[in-house]
Amino acid sequence: MKNKKSNLKDLYYTNDHEWIDFKGTIAFVGICGFKLTGFKEIQQIIFSELSGFKKQGEIIAKIRYNDYEIEAHMPVDGKILKANDLLISGKQQVLLNEPEKNGWIAQIIPSRPFERKDLLLPKKYQMNGKSKYAK
């Protein structure tokens, strides 16, 4: 699968350590490596209903390792197009190895593709010391 994150100029973060990479009228969303601190492996990913409209903050997936469970949320309002085939096919380690690249969780259609309200630019997110991947 090609690297979906080659162009970082429209990449944003949430205060809850999720990211969104806008690609015109679609976007890729995922969780930051910082949010996976303590995970040695991904044992299970439980996707929420992956069809229909989701509001900002709604859970799109739960990621589990032993007693740890974290939630991935929609960073903006929109419709989920599909989940990452790598994650569905059992290659969940990509989420740990490349969380902000090939480890995207879902491809979405943002309801307002040019609005960036409540999102942080990579430099602002990095200034908070939360991402070693932000450029």
Domain ranges across the chain: 12-113
Class of domain 12-113: mainly beta
Q: How far is Cα 81 from Cα 107, in angstroms, rounded to an integer?
A: 5
Contact status, residue 108 vs residue 25, Cβ threshold 8 Å: no
Q: How far is Cα 9 from Cα 61, in angstroms, rounded to an integer?
A: 26
- Give the position of tokens 């430099």: 123
Residues 6 or more apart whose Cβ sits within 8 Å of residue 124: 13
Q: How does pLDDT run along the chain (135 residues), one tens digit per residue? A: 444 444 447 999 999 999 999 999 999 999 999 999 999 999 999 999 877 899 999 999 999 999 999 999 999 999 999 999 999 999 999 999 999 889 999 999 999 999 999 999 998 998 766 544 443
Q: What residue type is assigned to position 106 of the chain? A: A
Structure tokens at 1: 């699968």
